[in-house]
Amino acid sequence: MRFITHSQTTFCYFFILFLVSLINISTVKAQTVADYRRKYESGKELIKQGKYDLSQEIFRPLMRELPDNPFTAYAHYFSALASFKANKSDEARLTLEQLQQKYPSWPDMDQASYLLANIFFIKKDYGMALVNTNKIKNDGVKKDAESLKRYYLQSEKNISVLKDLQQKNSNDRIIAEVLTDKLWLSTNEEEKALAKKLDSQFNLKKVSNPPAKQVETKQAYNVAVILPFDYNKLLVEKNGRVSPIAVDMYNGIRLAQQQLAKEDIQINLFAYDVGADGDKMLTLANQSEFQSNDLIIGPINGAAIKVAVSFANQTKIGQINPITTNSQIVQNTSAAYLYQASVESQARHAAQFARKQFTTPTAVIFYGNTSRDSLLAHVYRQKFTESGGKISTFRKIGSAADIPKMILALEGTTDPGHIFITSSDQNVAINLVSSLEKRETKIPVITQSNWLSYSMLSYDQFERLQFHFINPEYLDYRSEAAIAFKQAYIQARNLIPSVYAYQGYDMMLYFGRILKEFGTNFHNGLKSKAPIKGAIFAGYDYRNANDNQYIPITKFESGSLILTNPLE
């Protein structure tokens, strides 16, 4: 019989412990990897749920370098993604840069480069954005990165920035393409030349240089109407009626189309909506179908206006802005027009009216604190003095409370021939009327038509105090033509027409008849045509101008608002 000694017993004991420990270590290691994976998947799920801060708490410990953690690099990426989605772009950038430095061989590094490029594009750090897009090797990610690059560069409004970027990246096709799109409608010859150069260098075939419209009479004329038709943004009035400018104006244009057809003038209407987006307008202008139009009405918002005006200037297709009174929009253009009279034209013609209307050639000018008020006052003063008139007082209104003192200051002096006042402050209007009513002698007043909407003032007061109104949108709703249009509109739309519907109708009738009379490229004919009454509105005069030079001046007579300077 063989006996086991004490020393042998001790050896066996420790040997068994060693085996058990190996088993435990293996089990612990397996449990640790599983735990890391569970946390990793949990963090990704939290991102999907939009719980970005919670996901970062999960990923933060996973970013530590531990022997058994296979998710360190992935944790960096997803932590950065969570930061990005939580609008913590700087934090995301630092994490991604750390990922690139520590794990340059990570197999999904293209995803990190894409995300980092996105961050730099948002910050408009285009140089660093391109550094990261250029690192991308995977074809699918590279395609997405090119779309990302195109999107952000198209959103860049500063042409100089894009020019500089193109010079530094002269072989980048997307930069060249975006820059060419921005330049080809420019009125600057150097910019147009650069667009042609890039188009040729990269074979973009973008600079189609549509030929200028020749004078041509047609059986039917194509008219593009570019207005903000987006029904998701329409305002609903208290009575439940949707009443946007665009829809009402377009409905008026359509009724004019029907009337013109009765006159053997065929108009084809094409409606577009680019909002205020200059890039969308540029894309539209590049389409050959759009270039076949003979007249463009709109757009009326933002950067889209500038692109449309440039397009009109190049192609000689007439373009009408139906809303604005900003003359700068049509400066140095030969084919773009304002349907309304510009602010400067309103002031000049009001001054001419005053010189003819009032015997005493002296004026007092008061003006409010807006840039429009100031522009009206300064142009009025210039034109009135050029016509031989004199300005006895030229004063900015500090506040409505100053008006009584300003009128009182006229006492003891020779009464001026009239007062010209421009202000959109209702209290200024109220105080002026009150102060003038206290005077024994009356001084005629010329002001803007918005004063007619001030409910605290009566038409009787305006008539008694000899008020005259610069009234470019004057419309005699009692006229047969206005009544007939209203009835036709109600029958067609089951709605009362707004002023925009009347404007759309009258504008389309006028320019439709211009197309019939002069054909396409009608500009010389329009600018030499004698003033003429509108179908509903008071009249049109585009002689040697790009905005309507006929400005109605109205006043009250026997309780009715009448036109003092009608066209014969």
Is pTM, for the whole model, over 0.95?
no
Percent composition of the chain: helix, strand, coil (DSSP 3-state, to 5): 55, 10, 35
Q: What is the mean pLDDT of residues 251-268?
A: 97
Among candidates 256, 262, 267, 260, which has minimal Cα distance to 218?
267
Residue 213 pLDDT: 64
Highest mean pLDDT among 7-16, 64-73, 142-151, 332-341: 332-341
Residue 187 pLDDT: 62
Side-chain-side CA neighbours of 230 within 13 Å: the count stands at 9
Give per-residue pLDDT as tens, 83-95: 998 889 999 999 9
Set out the domains of the chain in order of their start, with CATH numbers.
Answer: 12-154 (1.25.40.10), 156-209 (no CATH), 212-341+477-537 (3.40.50.2300), 343-470 (3.40.50.2300)
- Residue position matching structure tokens 């999904």: 108
* Alpha-carbon gap, residue 37 to 33, rounded angstroms: 6
Task: Decide if pLDDT at 470 tops 80.
Answer: yes
Helix, strand or coil for residue 86? coil
Give per-residue pLDDT as tens, 300-333: 988 889 889 989 988 999 999 999 999 989 987 8
Residue 185 pLDDT: 63
How much is the mean pLDDT over the chain? 88
Residue 505 pLDDT: 98
Give per-residue pLDDT as tens, 363-387: 999 999 999 999 999 999 999 999 9
Q: What is the mean pLDDT of residues 245-261?
A: 95
Q: What is the mean pLDDT of residues 132-147?
A: 92
CA gyration radius for the chain?
36
CA 387 to chain centre: 39
Opening angle at CA 276, ends 271 and 279, nearest 5: 90
* Alpha-carbon gap, residue 55 to 48, rounded angstroms: 10
Give per-residue pLDDT as tens, 184-214: 766 677 887 898 899 889 988 665 556 666 6
Among candidates 270, 253, 248, 138, which has minimal Cα distance to 499?
248
Give per-residue pLDDT as tens, 505-556: 999 999 999 999 999 989 999 999 999 999 999 999 999 999 999 999 999 9
Give per-residue pLDDT as tens, 17-61: 444 344 344 444 444 778 888 988 998 999 888 899 999 999 998
Task: Decide if pLDDT at 486 tops 80.
Answer: yes
Give per-residue pLDDT as tens, 146-171: 988 987 887 787 889 999 999 999 99
Q: What percent of the chain has pLDDT over 70?
A: 89
Helix, strand or coil for residue 536? coil
